[in-house]
Amino acid sequence: MSRIGKKIIIIPEGVSVTLTDNNFEAKGPKGTLNFVHHSEVAIEIVDKEITIKNIGKTKQASAIWGLTRALVSNMIDGVKEAYVKKLELQGVGFRMAVAGKKINMALGFSHPVNVDVPEGLEAKIEEGFLVISGIDKQLVGQFAAEIKRLKPVEPYKGKGFRYVGEQVRRKAGKKAASK
């Protein structure tokens, strides 16, 4: 039985939700998100509370129940307050700049790396950090992971992209032989 699926979601002030057939929609000050839920779960909206019910009898139904509850909760949090991921770029000569809907980076390759920011996301440079924000949690996390994959942190010198606060395990390099 899903522990997450049992939890009730409270609708905060400034957020409105609508449910038509299998389409759930959340509107808030930051924007609007839509979600088509699976037929093995039912979403009930009573006053300012959302309850997710498991109506399926298959083995997969309880997993879908917890997943649906998490997705609906993330949607409500996203339209109320945007999700933010901060990336830090370390390394001598590594640079990044945001120009409109493009991120221009010099990552030590023979060519500059240009990445388009997906629709619905915003990217900016603040105090040397790349800040990615948007209302869709999955989209923010996926784009941050794609940026990080361009130059992952290497374990010897620690150069590359890392999330702010991420701990990187460092390896000891070659030691000078003593005679």
* Termini Cα distance of the chain: 65
Instruction: Please name which of 150, 154, 158 lies closest in space to residue 113, comparing C-alpha atoms.
Output: 150
pLDDT in tens, 81-122: 999 999 999 988 899 999 989 999 999 999 999 999 999 999
Query: Sorting pLDDT into bands at 50, 70 and 90, what band is 178?
Result: low
83-163: which CATH architecture? Alpha-Beta Complex (3.90)
Overall pTM surpassing 0.85 (yes/no): yes
- Contact of 149 with 163, CB cutoff 8 Å: no
CATH number among 3.40.50.11390, 3.40.630.40, 3.40.50.300, 3.90.930.12, domain 3-80: 3.90.930.12
Q: How far is the CA of 143 from the CAs of 60, 135, 137, 173, in angstroms? A: 29, 13, 10, 32
